[in-house]
Amino acid sequence: MSPAAINHIAVVVENLEAALRFWRDALDLPLARVEDNADEAVRIAFLPLGESEIELLEPSTPDSGIARYLAKRGPGMHHLCIEVTDLGAAMQRLVAHGAELINETPRIRPDGTRYAFIHPRSTGGVLLELYELSRQPGEQA
């Protein structure tokens, strides 16, 4: 079954407050919540947009993966996450077509969501994340 929706676009920013002045205050997106993710050493702001979300990521330590990305590439879009209903089947199909997965078996978030990353070499330069999620037609993020 084809992917159903864009779940989120993650944007790496230097300063979360400055970024919120644009995305929340100037552009008028609602801010759902801000989370500290200690495992990945980032602070994340979640801004719902239709059936998707904009996620703003600020590194919380200078040696995190996101901090190194920011130092190397500058701020901007970091990855794209799309939803599939059957992650195992999607991963099998990708491998059969020669795509390079970053994790070869699904990883699991604390909330139970199964996910996997595909290497930008396979996608035309996009770090792509797949979430296994089912949603009802018309349901918002």
- Residues forming contacts to a copy of itself in the complex (CB under 8 A) are 1-6, 9, 11-14, 18-19, 21-23, 25-30, 49-52, 56, 74-77, 80, 82-83, 90, 93-94, 96-99, 120, 122-126, 137-138
Length of the chain: 141
Rank residues 12 and 44 by Cβ distance to a copy of itself and give the closer one.
Answer: 12
Task: Find the shortest distance in angstroms from Cβ 42 to a copy of itself.
Answer: 14
Which candidate, 14, 20, 76, places its Cα nearest to that of 46? 20
Task: Find the shortest distance in angstroms from Cβ 71 to a copy of itself.
Answer: 13
Distance in angstroms (rounded) separating the CA atoms of residues 15 and 10: 14
Task: Find the shortest distance in angstroms from Cβ 41 to a copy of itself.
Answer: 18
Task: Find the shortest distance in angstroms from Cβ 26 to a copy of itself.
Answer: 3
Rank residues 112 and 137 by Cβ distance to a copy of itself and give the closer one.
Answer: 137
In this structure, how many other beta carbons lie within 10 angstroms of the beta carbon of residue 20? 19
Task: Find the shortest distance in angstroms from Cβ 81 to a copy of itself.
Answer: 11
Distance in angstroms (rounded) separating the CA atoms of residues 114 and 132: 5
Rank residues 110 and 118 by Cβ distance to a copy of itself and give the closer one.
Answer: 118
Rank residues 98 and 110 by Cβ distance to a copy of itself and give the closer one.
Answer: 98
Distance in angstroms (rounded) separating the CA atoms of residues 12 and 9: 10
At 118 the three-state DSSP class reads strand
Rank residues 41 and 80 by Cβ distance to a copy of itself and give the closer one.
Answer: 80
**The tokens of 22 are what?**
């644009």
Distance in angstroms (rounded) separating the CA atoms of residues 8 and 56: 10
